[in-house]
Amino acid sequence: MAIEFSKLLTPDVVIAANIVAAALDRHSQALERLTNQMSHTAEHFVEEIKPFLDAISTGLDGLSGDIASLTAKIAALQAAAGELTPEASAALEAVKTTVAGLASRVSDLDAQTPPAPPA
């Protein structure tokens, strides 16, 4: 038994198929617009946070050097025996000043980062 498809394609079926095709086309276009908008939003976000990331990276590089310097000064102080020499006292003051500067720089970096998004 052969089915004649031409008999199935009544005017109502053709109209319904055209309506479905138009609806699919509109949804496809809407999805494409949404995808483009999301891509643009993501690119814009990356552009906005790049200066913050660069500043944090630069700051962390500086902090790494400062920490290495402090570690060396602390090791030198620990190697000194007995009472503090004037050099050791000066080294302690330098460590104290450096630590205060590091704390300030960390606070500056924290102030530059955008706040966490709401949950």
**pLDDT tens for residues 32-59?**
999 989 988 888 988 888 888 888 888 8
- pLDDT attached to residue 89: 80
Contacts of 92 (CB under 8 A, 6+ apart): 77, 84
Q: Flag whether the pTM goes above 0.75.
A: no
Question: What band does 81 get if pLDDT is binned at 50, 70 and 90?
Answer: low
The DSSP-derived string for 60-98 is: HHHHHHHHHHHHHHHHHHHH--SSPPHHHHHHHHHHHHH
